[in-house]
Structure 1
């Protein structure tokens, strides 16, 4: 707005007129000298416009700026609060990881429906499903055994095929700061680097039941209920090693090899001590 030549009154300097102003300051000519003031802040306490129309317009500008300042302060406080919560979670995470003992079966395998696979491999996260009964019915499952040493294994089978033909379609390490007991939305996000999607030809050579078995019924290959189940760290290492051998592309093979080495390091597994796969399919 243009305030040049507009008359103003100052509590101390009396009457004057505007000679200059911009978004930051305003200069007023009084009887004996010119004075500069912060604009528009000075009008809130020290200066008053004589022109009522201009004063009303200026009041709207001041109110708008005040709202913007309040919003900025609120956002600043919210950011501080977010950082405090983040720091608290980080401390809890560090404490938990310091005392964390590796579980021998902290890997998780998912039964994936065909329609969800595209989304999983695009967003690189998988949903654990919801609790079916009890007080927490309808809430997402918490993958409590999952830590940064865990892998999400993605499997599927054609509805016309028997369970023994379940294929491995992809794998990923969980995000390096993910802890299942803190998971509220049921989604397990992937590590930014260690993630692999198998080609159709590769999947046709990666049978899930070659590695996995039910200890109580080692000769049976059944997956009756549930979207996921936990399984042995050693079995996961066997799968990753075989995936490395499948990769013909140099870059993908290198990624798979790095993935395998990182997994073994996180799970304290020595490659030279890794046994041959001995899942249910190998016992038929």
Structure 2
């Protein structure tokens, strides 16, 4: 917009003529001297443009700039809120990390369908699902028991086979900084190092119900509903120890051994005191 030579009236300095302007400054020649002002702010309260066509165009520019200013203020406020939330989450994270107490059943077993089997090992994470009822219906489940000491066991069962034939596909420790209570999206990512996938042959030898048992109904082998359930820290240690013995490749065996030792350290378990597996299949 070209406002050069346009006549204006200032509340204090009177009649003048615009001699120069850009996106942020305007210079006006009054009878006594030239004056510089902030553009276009000065037109809002102190300066009136005589040319009606130019005044209408300027009004549109001012309105547009006002909208942009409010949008920018809103963005800054939202960014401020986001940073505050991140700070609060970090404080909460540090507090939970510092004060964490081991839960005896802080391991997760996950039931993978065919698609999930592929995604779990390509992306090394699982989704805990969504809440089916209540005020938070539709929101992701928070795996509240999972912490740094937790591992996720991946299992599957062919639909044509009974539940007792559920087999173990692999296992991973949760990400180093993962805390289930703070998980908003329901995704449980794997540790950067401790993750194991079993071959088909190895998987056939690792039946889940050799380790898991419902102590209230010790001879009952049933999954019922849901994608996951929590289970005993000792049972996960038993599973990891048996995986070590299954691995024939030296590198995989070494990783499995390191995984087992790390898990035992995180869960305050000693190998010498680890009981033998005694799941529901072994009690039949």
- TM-score normalized by structure 1? 0.77
Shift of residue 233, structure 1, vs aligned partner: 0.9
Which runs of 5 or more residues in structure 2 are unaligned? none
8 Å Cα contact 1:130/1:139 also seen in 2 = yes
- TM-score normalized by structure 2? 0.77
Shift of residue 235, structure 1, vs aligned partner: 2.0
User: What residue number does 2:158 align with?
Assistant: 158
Find the residue that maps to 2:240 and give its secondary structure. Answer: helix
User: What residue number does 1:25 align with?
Assistant: 25
Q: CA RMSD in A?
A: 3.6
8 Å Cα contact 1:151/1:173 also seen in 2 = yes
Q: Which moved more, 1:26-35 or 1:135-144?
A: 135-144
User: What residue number does 2:206 align with?
Assistant: 206
- Pairing 1:131-280 to 2, within 5 Å after superposition: 131=132, 142-175=142-175, 176-180=177-181, 187-191=186-190, 193=192, 196=195, 198=197, 200-201=199-200, 202-216=202-216, 218=218, 221-243=221-243, 246=247, 248=249, 250=251, 259-271=259-271, 273-280=273-280
Which whole-Å CA distance do the structure 2 matches of 1:74 and 1:137 have between them? 28
User: What residue number does 1:124 align with?
Assistant: 125
Which runs of 5 or more residues in structure 1 are unaligned? none
Shift of residue 131, structure 1, vs aligned partner: 4.5
8 Å Cα contact 1:110/1:227 also seen in 2 = yes
CA gap of 1:43–1:161, structure 2 versus 1, over 3 A, is: same
Which whole-Å CA distance do the structure 1 matches of 2:67 and 2:125 have between them? 40
Shift of residue 102, structure 1, vs aligned partner: 0.8
Shift of residue 158, structure 1, vs aligned partner: 0.8
Q: Which moved more, 1:17-26 or 1:135-144?
A: 135-144
CA gap of 1:22–1:10, structure 2 versus 1, over 3 A, is: same
Deviations 1:124-168 (A, max 9, x none): 232245447xx6695665544333422222211111223232222
Find the residue that maps to 1:224 and give its secondary structure. Answer: coil
Shift of residue 234, structure 1, vs aligned partner: 2.0
